[in-house]
A and B are shown apart, each in its own frame.
Chain A
Amino acid sequence: MAVELELAPVVERRDVAAVAPHKGRDQSSGAWSWLWPKLVAIAIVVGAWQVVVWSGWRPDYVLPSPIAVFRRLSEDLAHADFYVGVAITLRRALVGYVIAAAAGSAIGLVVARVAVLRRAIGSAILGLQSMPSIAWFPLAILLFQQSETAIIFVVILGAAPAIAAGLLSGVDHVQPLLIRVGRVMGARGLVLYWHVILPAALPAFVGGLKQGWAFAWRSLMAGEIIVIVSHSPSIGQQIQFARDLADAEQLLAIMIVIFVIGVVIDSLFGTLDRAIRLRWGLLGAEA
């Protein structure tokens, strides 16, 4: 409301301005209303877990209690090995994802631009998206042996199609009116792409990047469990060792780590997406 009052004299002179409503919120209450549903959800899950443990459904060396797992997790967190493992995994994720993003964007762009290519491989890109990345591993191991390259290869194949598909769908769904406006202003070909079509495709592209990240992370975990690279105690490898040693506490502790990393990075994409929608004025329903 404060913003509207400040504008009043100017507004009176001309049209009535539609003032953006999402400003001047109480920051702390915003953070709390963001946080508490999540805390309640975690409490319910942990509670349910504890109830199952109490029921004696499985012995506690197979299904340990939440307290035992969290104690183990805090021990892990105090160890340097743990961070070495996280670093190895995150480096693979980063390398694979960056290559996938570059390749996916380039392919998406070329396919969107060239009609023949579009007809040739447009549907193949969408098809690749639904291909389970684990199906690539036998081939990847044949090609690259049990190596990090094999893992990154599959991460790229997992993420790139989703990123290309996001860009393609963004380009396809640009409002025709905006393209006409660009053409009337004299933009043609690549200039039109650069100034109108690509910026208009940005929200869908970010959606594709987010999807690509989810696929990359899944492929990476599958790869680290299947492909054993010596002297690299990655997170996936640690989870596999925990299973081999029937160390259920460690197994669940690492699963929590995998989940948390996935959620944190996913929320970074969520923040980016919200920033774009805020800029475009597409947040009306939530604000």
Chain B
Amino acid sequence: MKGNVLELSEKHALSVEALTIAFPHGDRLLVALHGVTLDVKRGELVCVVGASGSGKSTLLNVLAGLERPSNGRAHVHGRVALMFQEAALLPWLTAAGNVELALELRGVRNPARSRMAAELLHRVHLDGFEKRRPHELSGGMKQRVALARALAQDADVLLMDEPFAALDAITRDLLHEELERLWTQTGLTILFVTHNAREAVRLGDRVLVFTSRPGRVAHEVVVELPRPRSLDSPELAVIAGRITDRLKQEMRDGG
């Protein structure tokens, strides 16, 4: 570990400094992120909102260690778990099996492993579905299993890449409540990426607005509405509306 760990304030769970990511694309370089700087405090729930092409997913991949930065730094203090838009459960394992694999890879042995898997599935309200295979579960249930699996990794930071984007509104609403509850109980740090401004305001302590091509932080909104928030509340709609306007304007300016 280099000096940057020491520079990192104890309060920060993750910090990104002047991060630039470029991919070779044909004979040109495609800049996905340009000079992104952000900090997330321990226990904070921060949402990143941006149009597609704003490099949001790339940011999470770098934080999860799946891609390398071209320039700048991205550092996570502690262990990372990552959730995707698709649940990405292993189809040959049961719901419990998927959770147990995460435990096993963390070095948890049986019988503690199966007990912990059952306990985690209970926490995401999937009692009775332990033996089901992914194809026997609805989209919302799959994401609950994915959430239990992420929790099984005992991560300090949970990165979420539009995890509820493919779900119907009611299911999404329920999962917002559960995510908020689990976040409160566990003290996890969450970086939640979405293209939906309302979802961002519903969940985030802060919302970072990303612009596109190249992606960078254009704007930060501190959400001071009391929790639990309702997606349909007028106050929330006003803030989300301002963010959406801002995104639209950025897109127009950017061509």
Measured CB to CB, the residues of A under 8 A from B are 10, 13-20, 175, 177-178, 180-181, 183-187, 191, 195-196, 199-200, 202, 276, 279-282
Contacts and interface: CB of A to CB of B under 8 A. Distances in A.
B90 A196 contact: yes
Contacts of A180: 66, 82, 84, 88
Contact of B64 (A14, A184, A187, A279): A184
Interface stretch (B25-33, B101-109, B238-246): B101-109
Given A17-B141, A177-B86, A196-B90, A184 B80 contact: yes
Nearest to B79: A186
B185 interface: no
A20 B105 contact: no
A183 B140 CA distance: 23
Residues of A contacting B: mostly: helix
A177 B134 CA distance: 15
B84 to A, nearest CB: 7
Given A14-B141, A178-B90, A281 B136 contact: yes
B86 to A, nearest CB: 6
A17 B136 contact: yes
Given A14-B125, A187-B105, A178 B133 contact: no
Contact of B140 (A14, A187, A199): A14
Contact of A281 (B64, B104, B105, B134): B134
A67 B88 CA distance: 58
B82 to A, nearest CB: 5
A276 B134 CA distance: 14
Contacts of B91: 279-281
Chain B interface size band reads 20 to 34
13 contacts: A14-B174, A15-B140, A17-B136, A18-B135, A19-B136, A180-B88, A184-B66, A185-B106, A186-B153, A191-B105, A195-B101, A200-B90, A276-B92
Nearest to B153: A185
Contacts, number: 80
Give the one of A18, A20, A195, A279 with max B CB within 10 A: A18
Given A186-B106, A280-B91, A17 B137 contact: yes
Contacts of A181: 84, 88, 90
A17 B92 contact: no
B135 A186 contact: no
Contacts of B104: 195
Nearest to A283: B135
A185 B135 contact: no
Given A15-B138, A20-B136, 17 more contacts: A15-B139, A15-B171, A180-B66, A180-B82, A180-B84, A183-B65, A184-B153, A185-B102, A185-B105, A186-B106, A186-B153, A187-B105, A195-B105, A202-B92, A276-B92, A280-B133, A280-B135
A279 B138 contact: no
Contacts of A15: 138-141, 171, 174
Contacts of B78: none
B135 A20 contact: yes
A186 B136 contact: no
B105 to A, nearest CB: 5
B254 interface: no
B81 interface: yes
A175 B87 CA distance: 13
Ranked nearest first, the 7 interchain pairs of A and B with the lowest CB-CB distance are A281-B135, A15-B140, A15-B138, A280-B91, A184-B82, A181-B88, A177-B88
